[in-house]
Chain A
Amino acid sequence: MPTHDKPEEHSGLSRRGFLKTVGAGTVAGGLVRESGGAATVAAQGPEVAGPAAIPLKLSINGNTHSLNVEPRVTLLDALRNYLDLTGSKKVCDRGTCGACTVLLDGKPVYSCTLLAVEAQGHKITTIEGLGSPEELSAMQSAFVEHDAQQCGFCTPGFVVACTAFVKDHPNATLEEVRAGLGGNLCRCGTYHGITEAVLQVAKGGA
C-alpha cells in the first residue's frame, strides 16, 4: 500500500514561501529600508527581511502603531492578532469574501491578501475608523435603519466597501450598486437591506 503525507495547502505555496521566492525582489524591496538590523541579506540578489520579526510602523485610523511581526504576517492578522482591531473579519482568508475589507489610502482592499509590511507608508482605515456605536457614520446609520445585517460577521467589511463605493459613485444607481459591490459575500442574506442602505446614502439614488 502506498503511503501519503499530509497534503500542502491548496496552492501548494504558503504565503511565507511566496514571500521568500517571489517577494524577495518585489515585496521585500520596500521593507528593507525600514527594517534595519533585523533584515537579512540573501546570498544573491536584493536584501530580504525575516523570517524573524521585524519592526513595522502602520498608520491606522489616524494613529501610528509600532509593532514587531514576521514579514509573512498579513495586514489582517496584524490588525486582529497584534493590534486587537478585530472589526475586520477573517472568513475565506484568500481574497474572495471581502469580510476583511479595509481602506488603503481611501481605496478598498482585502487585508487578508496584503502583507502588513506592504501597508507601511499608506493610510489605513479600518471599520473602527469610520464611526462608533455612539457616533455612527452615514453608511453605518443606513445599515442600521435598513437592517442590512443579521449575524453581523460580514457587516464591517460591507460597511467599509460600501463607504468607499459611495464616495466613488455619489449618484449610484441600482445597477451600479449591483455591479460595484460584488466583492463582498454574506451568508445570512442581507443584500436587500445593503442595497437599500447604499442607495439611501448615495445622493440621487433611485
Chain B
Amino acid sequence: MAKNAWPAADKRDLIGERISRLDGPVKATGHAKYAYDMNRPGMLYVRLVWAPYGAAKIQSIDTSAAKAIKGVAGVWNEMNEGDEIVHAGQIVATVAATSEEIAQEAWRAVKVAYEVKQPQMNDTVLENADEKEQRDEIPDAATVDKAYADAEVKIDGHYGLAPITHCCMEAHGQFAEMKDGDQYIWPSTQNVSAYAAGLTDAAGLPASQIHVDCQYMGGGFGSKFSSDQWGAICSRISKETGKPVKLMLERDQELMVAGARPSAFANVKAGATKDGKITVFDSTCWGSGGMGTSRGLGVPYVFGNVPNIRRVARNVRTNRGSQRAWRAPGHPQACLVTMAALDDLAAAANMDALEFFLKNLDLTERPDVYREELQIAADMIGYKEKAHLRGDSGDGPVKRGLGISIHMWGGGGHKSECNCTINPDGSVSVALGTQDLGTGTRTVVGIVTAETLGLPLKRVQVNIGKDQYPPSGASGGSTTVGGVSSSSRDAATNALNMLLEKVAPSLGVPVDQLEAWDGKIQVIGDPSKSVTWEKACSMLGQIPITGKGSKPTSDGTELDNSGVGGVQMADVSVDTETGRVTINEFVAVQDCGLIIDLKTAESQVYGAMIMGVTYALYEEAIYDPITGRMLNADMEFYRLAGLADVGTLKVHMMTGPGYDERGVIGLGEPPVISPGAAISNAVANACGVRVPTLPLTPDRVIAALEQGGKLA
C-alpha cells in the first residue's frame, strides 16, 4: 500500500532534481497560445474609452461619429452623463470593430466632455491621511516613550516606497466566443477555477455554461485574480453580438488601472543599547492604495519580538486606481521600513550591520534559520573582505557598499482537488483546475505524479488550466505549489493503490508489500519480483482507474507546510557625482521546505531578485497632480530593469535535513520582499547617507547626499 507521505531522499528519483519545465519548448518557439493570441474569423476587437482625469464629472458622451464608421460593430456607454470619475483610466465607453485599426479609429471618434475637478494625488505627506481610516496599536504609550528616551543609541528616520504598477507583459483581458449557446473564455488569469463566477451576470449564463481555458498567461504577480470589468464587457459583447470577441487592455490603461502596489511611508523612532540590542520600535506609517485602502504595515517586520512597539497607521485616499495584490502584499514595504531603520540604528551604534542583525535574531521567530542563512549569504558575497562601516568607503566619487535584509512568509497550500487516471494501456493523465503563471506549476504536478507512480516525467500527461477539471485555488500568496503537490500526490497515491490491488495476486504478496519504482510494480526493495508498468496496467481490463486527491489530503497526511525565512545581501556602487546606483553582486539564500523542482525554484528566486532590483532602482508610477493622469504610462518612462542592470546574481536554496521533511512550501512571494531593503542598505553603506525613498533614482540619491552626505 503506497503512502501519501513524501518519499525519503534515497527514494526520490525526480523530486528535488533540476528539471526543465514541461512547457519550455512551446514557449521558446512561440507556439504557446495566450489569450492575446486568440484569432477567429469574424472576431471583433474591443477598445475601451477611458477617463483622462483623476476627478471629473461626465458632461456628455457622443458616440455618433464612432458608430458611423464602417466596420464598427457597436459602441456602448459604460458610464453616463453626470457620473463622477474618481480615478484616471475609468472605463467610460466601449467600441467593438472588425479590425484593430477600425477599433482604434472608433475609439478616437468617441467624444466625451468632462467637468474637471481637482484630484487629490499627494500621498507623501501624513497630513493628507484620512483620520477615519486608522489602525493604531499602542499598547502602552508611556512605556514606549520612556524606552526611546532611555535608549543609548537612537534614530529618528523617514522611509518610503513610491507606488508601482504590475506591468504584466501580457495585458489584462480575455477572448470570448459563443458555441451552441455556451460561452467559451480564454482569459489571462491567476484563478482559472473561479473565473467564470465573475461573468455570469454579464454573459447572462449560469457558470455551468461558461467554460474557461487558460493554458498560458503572460504574468500576473497578484493583479489577475478576477475577471474584472473588462472581462465582463468582453463576455457581454460576445453574448450580445454572437461573435468571437477579443478585449485586451492597451498598455497605458494596463499600467494605470490593472496594477498598483500601494505606496508606503513611515516615520520611525528606534532605539538600542550601545552594544546593539534593539529596545524600541515606534512607527507612524501611511500610504495610499488609490481608491482602495492601504492596510498599514506590520512593523517591525521579522523582528516582531522587540520589547517596546508602537504602530500608528493611516490611509491616504488618492484619485488613483485601486490597489491590487502585488507579490507579498505589504511585506516589501514593511521590510524596507524595518530593515532600513535597523540598519540606520546599527550605523548609529557604529556597528557592523551583519553583527547587529545576528545579535538581534532572538527577536525573530526563526533565529536558527536566519543565522545559518546569514552566514551562507555572507560567504557567497565575500562579506568579510568587502564589509566596512557606513560611509567608510574610500576616496573617489564612486563608493561601494554592502546591504543586508531578511524576510519571512507563510506559503501553506491552498485547497485543491485532482484526478489521476491510469489507463489499461499504461498511459497516465492528471487533471486539476490550476494555472501555471510561469512559476512551473504544470511541471510540479507532472513531477509529483511521475515520482509517485515510478515513471519517467514524459509518461505523464498533465492537464491544467480548464475549469472543467477538479477545482484548485487561485495562484496567490505562494499557496499553489503546496496545494497542487498535495492534491496530485494524494490522487496519484490513491490511483496507484487501486492498481496495486489488481496486481498483488499475480505477485503473491499483500498490497502493502508492493511499490512503484523505475517503471515497474515490484515487491518493496526486490526488483526480481516485479511486473512492468504496462503489464500491471493491462490487468485493469478495459476500464481505466481514477484516483481522487485533494488538499487537505484524503487521509489527512499533511504534505505542505508554512513559514519560511530568507536572507539577501547586495553589493552596490554609487556614483556620488551622478547619483547612479549600480548592482555589482546580489545574493539570496532561501528556504521553502521540500523543493519539487530545483531548477524552477531557483528561477523564482532569480526572478524575484530582478523584479526587486527594478522596484529598488527604477519603478515608480508618476501621477500628474493637476489632471490626475499617470504621466509615465508606457514602458519607456515606466522603467523596468534590463539585462545589463541586474549585476551578478547568486541563489542558494536551503535543502536537505531540517528543511526537506517540513513538506512543500510556496516560493512566489518570499524572495521578492527583501531586495528593496538590501539595496537601500547597501547604498547607505556606500555613500554614508540614507536615501529615504524607493526607487533610488539619481535625483533622490543626489538630494540625499546634498542634505546629509558626508561625502557629497
Binding site for B on A (CB under 8 A): 1-8, 10, 14, 16, 70, 72-73, 77, 80-81, 84, 86-94, 96-97, 99, 126-128, 130-134, 136, 140-141, 143-145, 147-156, 159, 177-179, 181-182, 184-195
Nearest-neighbour CB distance to chain A for B672, whole angstroms, equals 9
Nearest residue (CB) in B for A96 is B635
In Å, the complex CA distance between A11 and B611 comes to 29
Assuming the contacts A94-B636, A136-B28, A153-B34, asked whether A147 and B20 have C-beta atoms less than 8 A apart, the reply is yes
State which of B104, B114, B216 has its C-beta within 8 Å of the C-beta of A3.
B114
Please indicate the chain B residues that have their CB under 8 angstroms from the CB of A8 in the complex: 108
Contact bitstring B622-664, A, C-beta under 8 A = 1, else 0: 0000000000001110001111101001000000000000000
| Beyond A91-B635, A147-B20, A191-B641, 18 additional pairs, beta carbon < 8 A | A1-B116, A3-B59, A4-B52, A4-B53, A70-B101, A81-B39, A86-B33, A86-B36, A93-B251, A97-B169, A133-B31, A136-B28, A144-B21, A152-B218, A189-B646, A191-B610, A191-B646, A192-B610
In Å, the complex CA distance between A178 and B636 comes to 19
In Å, the complex CA distance between A195 and B169 comes to 20
Nearest-neighbour CB distance to chain B for A179, whole angstroms, equals 6
Nearest-neighbour CB distance to chain B for A46, whole angstroms, equals 23
**Does B642 contact A136, Cβ atoms closer than 8 Å?**
no
- Is B392 an interface position by the 8 A CB rule? no
Please indicate the chain A residues that have their CB under 8 angstroms from the CB of B37 in the complex: 80, 86
Assuming the contacts A93-B251, A150-B439, asked whether A186 and B169 have C-beta atoms less than 8 A apart, the reply is yes
**Does A152 contact B101, Cβ atoms closer than 8 Å?**
no
Max count, chain B CB within 10 A of own CB: residue among A99, A136, A188, A191 = A188
**Does A91 contact B28, Cβ atoms closer than 8 Å?**
no
Nearest residue (CB) in B for A70 is B101
In Å, the complex CA distance between A1 and B216 comes to 48
**Does A187 contact B167, Cβ atoms closer than 8 Å?**
yes
**Does B635 contact A140, Cβ atoms closer than 8 Å?**
no
Please indicate the chain B residues that have their CB under 8 angstroms from the CB of A156 in the complex: 28-30
Nearest-neighbour CB distance to chain A for B168, whole angstroms, equals 6
Please indicate the chain A residues that have their CB under 8 angstroms from the CB of B524 in the complex: none
Please indicate the chain B residues that have their CB under 8 angstroms from the CB of A127 in the complex: 29-30
**Does B28 contact A149, Cβ atoms closer than 8 Å?**
yes
**Does B115 contact A178, Cβ atoms closer than 8 Å?**
no
Max count, chain B CB within 10 A of own CB: residue among A6, A134, A145, A195 = A6
State which of A73, A140, A187, A193 has its C-beta within 8 Å of the C-beta of B169.
A187
- Is B23 an interface position by the 8 A CB rule? yes
Binding site for A on B (CB under 8 A): 20-21, 23-34, 36-37, 39, 49, 52-53, 59, 99-101, 104, 108, 110-116, 167-171, 216-219, 221, 250-252, 437-439, 599-600, 602-603, 606-611, 614, 634-636, 640-644, 646, 649
Please indicate the chain B residues that have their CB under 8 angstroms from the CB of A147 in the complex: 20-21, 24, 599-600, 602-603
**Does A94 contact B218, Cβ atoms closer than 8 Å?**
no
In Å, the complex CA distance between A94 and B113 comes to 28
**Does A4 contact B113, Cβ atoms closer than 8 Å?**
yes
7 closest A-B pairs by CB: A87-B30, A189-B610, A153-B218, A189-B607, A151-B438, A150-B438, A152-B27
Please indicate the chain A residues that have their CB under 8 angstroms from the CB of B642 in the complex: 181-182, 184-185, 191
**Does B437 contact A151, Cβ atoms closer than 8 Å?**
yes
**Does B607 contact A89, Cβ atoms closer than 8 Å?**
no
In Å, the complex CA distance between A84 and B32 comes to 13
In Å, the complex CA distance between A50 and B670 comes to 54
Please indicate the chain A residues that have their CB under 8 angstroms from the CB of B108 in the complex: 6, 8, 14
In Å, the complex CA distance between A16 and B23 comes to 38
In Å, the complex CA distance between A192 and B649 comes to 7
**Does B112 contact A6, Cβ atoms closer than 8 Å?**
yes
Please indicate the chain B residues that have their CB under 8 angstroms from the CB of A99 in the complex: 169
In Å, the complex CA distance between A153 and B170 comes to 7
In Å, the complex CA distance between A47 and B606 comes to 54
In Å, the complex CA distance between A7 and B49 comes to 11
Please indicate the chain A residues that have their CB under 8 angstroms from the CB of B599 in the complex: 147
In Å, the complex CA distance between A149 and B599 comes to 11
**Does B29 contact A132, Cβ atoms closer than 8 Å?**
yes
Nearest residue (CB) in A for B252 is A10
State which of B24, B218, B643 has its C-beta within 8 Å of the C-beta of A178.
B643
In Å, the complex CA distance between A155 and B101 comes to 26
Assuming the contacts A94-B636, A133-B29, A147-B599, asked whether A177 and B643 have C-beta atoms less than 8 A apart, the reply is yes
Please indicate the chain B residues that have their CB under 8 angstroms from the CB of A187 in the complex: 167-169, 219, 221, 611, 640
Assuming the contacts A152-B23, A181-B643, asked whether A81 and B30 have C-beta atoms less than 8 A apart, the reply is no
Please indicate the chain B residues that have their CB under 8 angstroms from the CB of A190 in the complex: 603, 606-607, 610
Please indicate the chain B residues that have their CB under 8 angstroms from the CB of A126 in the complex: 30
Please indicate the chain A residues that have their CB under 8 angstroms from the CB of B52 in the complex: 4, 6-7
Please indicate the chain B residues that have their CB under 8 angstroms from the CB of A3 in the complex: 59, 113-115
Nearest-neighbour CB distance to chain B for A141, whole angstroms, equals 8
**Does A145 contact B610, Cβ atoms closer than 8 Å?**
no
Q: List 30 A-B contacts (CB under 8 A).
A: A4-B52, A6-B52, A77-B100, A77-B101, A86-B34, A88-B30, A89-B170, A91-B169, A91-B251, A92-B634, A94-B636, A97-B635, A99-B169, A133-B31, A143-B24, A151-B169, A152-B27, A153-B169, A156-B28, A156-B29, A159-B28, A186-B610, A187-B167, A187-B219, A187-B221, A189-B610, A189-B614, A190-B610, A191-B641, A192-B606
